[in-house]
Amino acid sequence: MICLSRNEQNAELLASYLAKTLDAAGMAELDSHIQECSDCRGLVSVWERLDEFAVPEVTPGFDQRLYARIAAEETGRSSWWRRLLWRPVVPLAAAAAVAALALYLHPLGTPNATKQASNSEIEQVAQAVDDLDLLSFR
CA dihedral 117, 122, 124, 129 (to 10 degrees): 130
Give the start-to-end residue ranges of the domains of the chain.
1-74
N-to-C CA span, the chain = 96
The per-residue pLDDT for 66 is 92
Under a CB-based contact definition with an 8 Å cutoff, are residues 5 and 37 in contact?
yes
> How many CA atoms lie less than 13 Å away from 30 in the CB half-sphere?
22
33 and 2 in contact (C-beta within 8 Å)?
A: yes
The answer to whether 27 and 19 have CB atoms below 8 angstroms apart is no
pLDDT value of position 77: 59
Q: How far, rounded to the nearest angstrom, does the alpha carbon of residue 99 sit from its chain's CA centroid? A: 30
Element (H, E) at 28: helix 24-36
pLDDT at 124: 81
Mean pLDDT, consecutive 10-residue stretches, the chain (138 aa), reads: 67 79 87 85 83 84 91 69 66 86 77 61 80 63
Q: Are 43 and 5 in contact (CB under 8 A)?
A: yes
What is the predicted pLDDT for the residue at 64?
A: 92
